[in-house]
Structure 1
Amino acid sequence: MLKNQAAWLQTEKTKQVANCVVMVPPKEFRFNPQTALDNEFQSTHSYSVDDVRQLVMDEYSNMVKGLRKQGIQVIELDYPLGNIETPDAVFPNNWFSTTRDGGLVIFPMACENRQHEVRTDALIATLENAGRHVEFQEDMTAYLSKHAYLESTGVMVIDHINRTIYAALSKRCDREVLEDYAHRIGEYRVISFQTALPSGKPIYHTNVMMAIGENFCVICDEVIPEFERRFVIKSLAQGRQVISISLDQMNKFCGNILQLATINGDRVIAMSQTAYDAFSEAQRTQLAGHGKLLPFDVETIETIGGGSVRCMLAEVFLQSRRGRL
């Protein structure tokens, strides 16, 4: 009985991590004034557009190479330039997500120029070419007519093992759309909560303050009101090591990390070099117990775009038809 329970638990845990990600080259990257209205992680700069784009393409390319070297399948979604620039296309995890039963979900994004990042047909074709088949689609962009938004795994940090979605409510995370999504993917429980930065504004994306792996979670709980904080922490602590980070560490993207599986089934944790350096030695030791730490230098993307490594990775949970990854 105990062996069967252990086998079941191991099977359940594999649901949490993907072994494949979609990444999008930052060909049109620049400071986005539309997103800067509620993203306090963005900063202006004095570099030329061409210099910025060269820097971010180097950061992106090095990250792709580094992930592949570790045995992560990276699917690059390239696209032709159009009349409307998509400066934040490098953060694809905000407009779609995938499920293990073959689902592709398309989400309503809050900023008008980000809505042009949605390239569903190109994504499906690229996934198919990589051996990942989409069985069905769920399009939630009808909510745009209601000015209601849900920016995928930017605003939702999902515990697939316990079927729970954690979400910091904001303009980019509407409660109605959130509950609808939870129902569509199979009756997931929703734990939503308020947050407040020193400015009084809410966190724009939950995934900058929280990350969930198979046996650990990282959270900046001090931005959650006390009456909600206790409930969130208690829920996260069920079967996981809770690693609490400070506001300063959150601002250095320590919450914006992602556990992945390699072709051999090993675990790695992708993060930025900024985040790696900001973690304490004790915290790095704790995290290393859950997978090899993979820091990538994406300082330009972080500073100007206001997002980090996890934002650049859209997990692919679709099953492979090629008998690998």
Structure 2
Amino acid sequence: MQFNTYKMQQTTNTILMIRPIGFRMNEQTAVNNYYQKVIDNLLPETVNVKAQQEFDAYVEKLRNIGVNVVVVDDTKEYDTPDSIFPNNWISFHENGNVGLYPMFAENRRHERREDVLFKLEELGFKINNIVDYTSAEDESIFLEGTGSLLLDRVNRKAYCALSPRADEDLFIEFCEDFEYTPVVFTANQTVDGKRKAIYHTNVMMCLGETFAVICLECIDDKKERKNVIKHLEEDGKQVIIINEKQVNNFAGNMLQVKGKDDKLYLIMSQAAYDSLSEAQIKIIESHCEILSSSLDTIEACGGGSARCMMAEVFLPKA
């Protein structure tokens, strides 16, 4: 696909976000997303209103630091309770290519919308080619975008924790198509005393330009753990280790973005920030500033956090 003619960057100033209209706990994803909860004594309408308030406050904070946030409203055409997490169905790349991904939950497949692409083109972004993996759904094979894929765009490596939502063969196919070296491993969490696969790689790992936040105790296989560390360190990333309790507070679900004048920020939820130690915060702040926002309702019902809500736009300008 000829990526080598494009200037690779790990971070972008432009983010796509989808404002929810029917947000709630999605029963179809709860079967393997162990972070989701039902909030007692709250009507569905109230849950959605709270999610919208958290969403709007979050967008305002991002815009205040100079991030270009493209907000598209969800539609009522389908029941799409997880539409607030667009990074799972689409990815945007430096050479003008767009990836479309197969989704585990049937009601999440309706999140894929052509008008989102039209909106970006209207804003002057260039789309050259669409690489569509969605037919894999027919065979119950899934790879949920940059939830499943952690992309080191500069060093051309893709990290993937295998799970019911991240198929190894399809991951390898993606790496061949988009010119990445695959780094495959399995990441688990303890649920009711049993080790179960973490549903998305970006829940337990975050890649910045000069650092990586990762929960190594989730990678039970020592060889796999050693291999992941080797790749991060050989690319000059400072490894910041978090624990499983912090993962449960979404401390792995962060994203580094560019604000005004290309200033770097690490974006996370308030719960994630509150779970970090002073030492961890100090290390992160030696690389970039931190921006946090309260996402309590979204995290509780959606089982996703700050990173899941942002689809990075790396498309060239037309």
CA distance in 2, matches of 1:129, 1:296: 29
Provide the secondary structure at the position in 2 that maps to 1:24.
strand
User: Could you tell me which residue of structure 2 aligns to residue 64 of structure 1?
Assistant: 59
User: Could you tell me which residue of structure 1 aligns to residue 227 of structure 2?
Assistant: 231
CA distance in 1, matches of 2:111, 2:256: 25
Displacement of 1:195 in angstroms is 2.0
Displacement of 1:129 in angstroms is 2.1
- Summarize deviations over 1:264-306 as a string: whole Å, max 9, x none: 1110111000011111111111111222110010010001110
User: Could you tell me which residue of structure 2 aligns to residue 104 of structure 1?
Assistant: 98
CA distance in 1, matches of 2:274, 2:189: 22
CA distance in 2, matches of 1:70, 1:131: 22
CA distance in 1, matches of 2:260, 2:135: 37
In 2, are the aligned partners of 1:75 and 1:130 still within 8 Å (CA)? no
Task: Map 1:14-33 onto structure 2 (within 5 A).
Answer: 15-33=9-27
Structure 1 position 148 matched with structure 2 position 148: no
CA distance in 2, matches of 1:65, 1:25: 13
- Summarize deviations over 1:164-196 as a string: whole Å, max 9, x none: 11110011000111011111112x111111122
Of 67, 76, 81, the match for 1:81: 76
Structure 1 position 191 matched with structure 2 position 186: no
User: Could you tell me which residue of structure 1 aligns to residue 200 of structure 2?
Assistant: 205
CA distance in 1, matches of 2:121, 2:188: 41
- Summarize deviations over 1:187-239 as a string: whole Å, max 9, x none: x1111111221132100000000000100000001011222111111211220
CA distance in 1, matches of 2:74, 2:39: 26
Provide the secondary structure at the position in 2 that maps to 1:66.
helix
CA distance in 2, matches of 1:90, 1:280: 29
In 1, are the aligned partners of 2:20 and 2:73 still within 8 Å (CA)? no
Q: Give the AA of the match of 1:273.
A: Q
User: Could you tell me which residue of structure 2 aligns to residue 306 of structure 1?
Assistant: 303
Structure 1 position 219 matched with structure 2 position 222: no
Provide the secondary structure at the position in 2 that maps to 1:318.
coil
CA distance in 2, matches of 1:156, 1:309: 16
Is 125-134 or 289-298 further displaced after alignment?
Answer: 125-134
Provide the secondary structure at the position in 2 that maps to 1:52.
helix
**Percent identical across equivalent pairs?**
39
CA distance in 2, matches of 1:88, 1:50: 15
User: Could you tell me which residue of structure 1 aligns to residue 3 of structure 2?
Assistant: none
Displacement of 1:80 in angstroms is 2.6
CA distance in 1, matches of 2:116, 2:173: 23
CA distance in 2, matches of 1:184, 1:303: 35
Q: Give the AA of the match of 1:255.
A: G
Of 147, 164, 168, the match for 2:161: 168
User: Could you tell me which residue of structure 2 aligns to residue 43 of structure 1?
Assistant: 37
User: Could you tell me which residue of structure 1 aligns to residue 115 of structure 2?
Assistant: 122
CA distance in 1, matches of 2:226, 2:49: 45
Is 300-309 or 128-137 further displaced after alignment?
Answer: 128-137
CA distance in 1, matches of 2:187, 2:257: 27
Structure 1 position 277 matched with structure 2 position 274: yes
User: Greater strand share, 1 or 2?
Assistant: 2
CA distance in 2, matches of 1:280, 1:184: 40
CA distance in 1, matches of 2:280, 2:291: 14
Displaced runs of 4 or more, over 2 A:
none
In 1, are the aligned partners of 2:74 and 2:83 still within 8 Å (CA)? no
Provide the secondary structure at the position in 2 that maps to 1:264.
helix
User: Could you tell me which residue of structure 2 aligns to residue 5 of structure 1?
Assistant: none
Displacement of 1:130 in angstroms is 2.1
Provide the secondary structure at the position in 1 that maps to 2:261.
coil
Give unmatched runs, 5+ long, in structure 2. 1-5
Number of corresponding residues: 307
CA distance in 1, matches of 2:251, 2:14: 22
TM-score (norm 2): 0.94
In 1, are the aligned partners of 2:91 and 2:145 still within 8 Å (CA)? yes
CA distance in 2, matches of 1:286, 1:195: 24
Give unmatched runs, 5+ long, in structure 1. 1-10
CA distance in 2, matches of 1:312, 1:109: 16
User: Could you tell me which residue of structure 2 aligns to residue 6 of structure 1?
Assistant: none
Q: Give the AA of the match of 1:66.
A: K
